Structure 1
Amino acid sequence: MERINSIFENIDPDASHQDEIKDKAFDLIDEFVAQHFEEDFCELLISKIEPKTDLRKVARTLDILVWSTPDNGKRLDKLTRNWLNSNDGNKIRAILFRKDWLPTHDWEELSKNIIYKDTTLKPLIDYYTRELDYWRRTGLRNLGLLEEAIKASMPNSFIN
């Protein structure tokens, strides 16, 4: 748990984009992957998070893990789907707060299920619905709108 907390201490979601992740976070995540990749490393990650942890830090850690794992995020993609289909609001938010993620082709059905579970996530669902269409048309992302959607759900953005 100490290593996970150290990772989070080196991520500041309120800082500017270029200052959000300190170099030390990348090193700590590399160590975490080296020690735990053969295990269910993402479940281990979320199970060790302390209450009141900012889920934006978890989301950024998941973003980094995509590029830090030997399989280039394949296991993480499967986990993402499992988390979005779960009834665990912390897991769902951790995925929806990610900056380096976009939903897959079955987003319409999945998004309805998420809103059914938690209506406070509607701003994030609406963002991803529009963002997916925008990205398909232009190949670009509008992360400023993601920040606004996350802020709209901020009262619920910490591990309970």
Structure 2
Amino acid sequence: MAITDDQVATLRAQLAGHHEEHVRRLDGLDTEEAKSGYTTLVTAAFFEAVDRKFIVNDKVAEAADVIDFVAYQREIHPDSADQLDPHAAEMVILDALGKGSIDNIDSERLFGTQILLLAALVGDARFSDDDLDAFLAKARTEADKHLG
């Protein structure tokens, strides 16, 4: 199984802020295989976004930087702040950086946290359309490796 164009387009719509298109496309991912591939793509994109934000010149950010990022995102996005548990968000980012563990986070909460953080990280990066496409292409390649 490989990541499909539909899965990439679904995530692109979400990250580009096209809510109605995202919901429509997400509803179209109606098989377990499609949902699993989409989850893998989101996870790969999340890891890529975390690396871009928190690893600079091969130096991994400190936990305080992660805490500050999560707090800032919750402050500037009050509508979604209730959905983003700060402790879980910090743990998920630190795990992606190899500095923590997500053993006590169930898969549903993990995915929800990743998708919220991914949107925040991509928004923070202020990608152009071309940059977003390149970012998603890299995430797709990584996701395909995990599915392969």
**Larger relative CO (CA 8 A, sep 6+): 1 or 2?**
2
Q: Which has the higher helix share?
A: 2
Q: TM-score, normalised by structure 2?
A: 0.32
